[in-house]
């Protein structure tokens, strides 16, 4: 979202919490904290109501960057799940937990000259094989690249050596690679799955 869209959401949320308590002192305090705004451009976004604002914002995001938006849908009924990580449909009850083979925690990523791009980290549970897919939706990428190579990486820090697993792929765009490099370590493990 744009900064103005974020301000509009904060403004609307604060107004809904105020409800009938339209105390002028409280309103001035909230404006001072940035919870409410007088910015005409922000208020223009909300002029037709919050529902229309949400729909317009969602449409703008889809128009501008649909390749970066991941909509986790049920493979059976194709309806939207509750969360990007959900593996069970709230609508038809279908579950696809069996697709998840392992959990991988990202430590860093890099690409040696002339080689595949590597995600380096730890496997927390399960087994990983060449041909599996890395579900990168947890890190904000709408893709599941195929694992083409598995290698070990040795990292030395303060005289201590740690061995990590490296998952190599050549299916990422330059923009996706940059996103992962900037991200560095990611605390929440993400899934390794057996099919897309």
> Would you state the pLDDT for residue 57?
94
- CB 127 within 8 Å of CB 136: no
pTM of the model: 0.64
Look up tokens 């069970």; give the residue: 88
Quote the pLDDT of residue 183. 87
* Averaged pLDDT in 10-residue chunks for the chain of 196 residues: 93 85 82 91 94 94 79 86 84 85 90 92 91 86 90 86 92 91 86 80
With residues binned 3-state (H G I as helix, E B as strand, rest as coil), the percentages for the chain, rounded to 5, are 35, 25, 40
Q: Where are the domains of the chain?
A: 3-66, 98-193
- What's the pLDDT score for residue 51? 94
What pLDDT, on a 0 to 100 scale, did the predictor assign at position 196? Answer: 56
CATH class of 98-193: mainly beta
pLDDT in tens, 54-107: 999 999 988 888 766 777 888 889 899 888 778 889 999 998 777 788 999 999
Beta strand extents in the chain (DSSP E only): 100-110, 117-126, 133-134, 149-157, 160-169, 190-193
Q: Are residues 126 and 192 in contact, defined by beta-carbon separation less than 8 angstroms?
A: yes
The pLDDT of residue 6 is: 93
Q: What is the pLDDT of residue 167?
A: 95
Are the C-beta atoms of 148 and 128 separated by less than 8 Å?
no
pLDDT digits (tens, 9 = 90+) for 59-74: 998 888 876 677 788 8
């Amino acid at each position: 979202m744009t900064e103005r869209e974020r301000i509009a959401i904060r403004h609307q949320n604060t107004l809904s919490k105020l409800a009938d308590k339209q105390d002028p002192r409280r309103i001035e305090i909230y404006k001072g904290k940035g919870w409410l705004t007088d910015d005409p451009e922000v208020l223009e976004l909300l002029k037709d109501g919050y529902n229309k604002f949400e729909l317009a914002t969602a449409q703008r995001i889809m128009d501008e960057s649909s390749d970066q938006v991941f909509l986790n849908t049920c493979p059976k009924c194709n309806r939207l799940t509750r969360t990007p990580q959900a593996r069970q449909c709230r609508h038809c009850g279908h579950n696809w937990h069996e697709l998840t083979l392992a959990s991988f925690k990202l430590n860093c990523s890099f690409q040696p000259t002339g080689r595949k791009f590597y995600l380096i980290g730890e496997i927390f549970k399960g087994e990983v094989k060449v041909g599996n897919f890395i579900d990168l939706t947890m890190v904000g990428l709408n893709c599941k690249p195929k694992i083409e190579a598995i290698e070990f990486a040795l990292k030395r820090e303060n005289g201590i050596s740690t061995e990590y697993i490296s998952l190599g792929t050549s299916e990422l765009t330059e923009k996706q690679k940059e996103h992962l490099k900037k991200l560095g370590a990611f605390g929440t493990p993400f899934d390794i799955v057996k099919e897309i």
